[in-house]
Amino acid sequence: MGIIYSRTSIPDPCTAPPRNPGIGKYRATRWAFDGNNRKCVPFEYRGMKGNANNFISRESCEQKCPGGDPCGQPLDRGIGGAQLSRWYWNEQSQCCLPFSYCGQKGTQNNFLTKQDCERTCFELDNPCALGEPQMTAEHRSQQCSLNSNTCANSYWCHFGANQDTTVCCPGRVGPDEICTQPMVEGEGEAQLPRWYYDPSTRQCVQFQYKGRYGNQNNFLTEQMCEQTCPVYVNVCPVGSPLLDETNRPVPCTFGSNSCGTDHWCHLGLLPAEYQCCPGTPTIPGACQGLSPVDGALGATQPPQTRYYYDASKMQCEQFIYNGRKGNQNNFLAKEDCEATCRVMPNPCRLPISMPPQQCSAGSNPDTCGMGMWCHVGFSPETTVCCPDGNHTVFTK
């Protein structure tokens, strides 16, 4: 028994719905046949799930779907004795103009109203990545500028290569989301110097914008970028510094309590790196046994001598700080350290364990234990058990 093949009709791409964008991250200008207007129109294709009404060029669209585009036909007043008010599309000036129609013959470039003419012939120059731009009552793209806020709430001002592409685009987001958007070079032939915010470095970086299909992380100047997004060096070991209303780190100084109750003042090598970092404040954080941290290099100044509190010795000791990513146990001067944490002087000739064992004058000699004797100092703090040097004493 032979196989019977059935002939199935191939769908006509010219009858499929026009301007089907599909889905995906790909962005390319394609052409589709608009059956209502009998002409090929441009649209943005996303790369997947489109339909057959999708042509690489205007020429290939018009070859497949000849519709007698009225907009490309010449002005023809026709014949007859009538004087009818009509509109035609002037390709040279790219606008609709009035004329008097005599009533018979003529071409399809003949519209009852200006609105009909523009709706059919005006080709929208759309630089927007997420849909059509905001339109005016005259069916034109709503233009915008730095000094004129003409965009509706859900639109933002796209700055293109010229006035025609500097229009209100859909998909407006707030400042916080702008600063997390990726850098998009866009499409086109333009080479426009722009700035974008890099959240990984917290810096504004220059790039070349091609003129179309960008996003809001696209600034005309470095200053505009820095006014919108938080530009700073993060010196905190954990989290990010406290920011003010201009997205700059809140400055701080030692002992001023300028960071509040849930931040501490990081003392960098430069004034700009005195920042409020999240965590327990220096008092009591520095005195609770935090190990000193050398930190990370990166500042424009060389490493500096700093002081930290050694809880085991109850003393302030010296160390070298590299400038960034340290912790609360970091003081500019030994005096600052001693004024912050409890420092216990050692009245003994030899090292002792801290805190020391207290004793008193006239106490039992066995109070201090083997190899120890009671040093009677000028205060209770200095009246402590000291090693006699004849026995091995283990210190912590």
DSSP 262-298: SEEEE--SSGGG-EEEESS-HHHHTTS-PPP---B--
Alpha-carbon span 343 to 259, nearest angstrom: 25
395 and 355 part of one domain: yes
pLDDT, residue 3, reads: 46
332 and 380 part of one domain: no
307 and 356 part of one domain: no
335 and 367 part of one domain: no
State pTM to two decimals. Answer: 0.53
Among 141, 176, 181, which residue's Cα sits nearest to residue 158?
141
Instruction: Give the residue, 328 or 361, on which the prediction is more confident.
Output: 328
Domain ranges, residue 303: 263-340
Alpha-carbon span 283 to 255, nearest angstrom: 9
Alpha-carbon span 86 to 304, nearest angstrom: 83
Q: Is the per-residue pLDDT at 119 higher than 90?
A: no
The half-sphere exposure of 145 on its side-chain side, counting CA atoms within 13 A, is 5
283 and 331 part of one domain: yes
Indicate whether 189 belongs to any domain: yes
Q: Is the per-residue pLDDT at 211 higher than 50?
A: yes
Q: How far is CA 14 from the centre of its chain?
A: 42
Indicate whether 109 belongs to any domain: no
Alpha-carbon span 148 to 338, nearest angstrom: 59
The half-sphere exposure of 162 on its side-chain side, counting CA atoms within 13 A, is 6
Indicate whether 138 belongs to any domain: no
Q: How far is CA 393 from the centre of its chain?
A: 60
Q: Is the per-residue pLDDT at 6 higher than 70?
A: no
Instruction: Give the residue, 221 or 378, on which the prediction is more confident.
Output: 221
335 and 278 part of one domain: yes
Q: Is the per-residue pLDDT at 7 higher than 50?
A: no
Percent of the chain with pLDDT over 70: 95
**Helix (H), strand (E) counts: the chain:** 6, 14
- Number of folded domains in the chain? 4
What are the helix (H) ranges across 201-333?
Answer: 222-228, 282-285
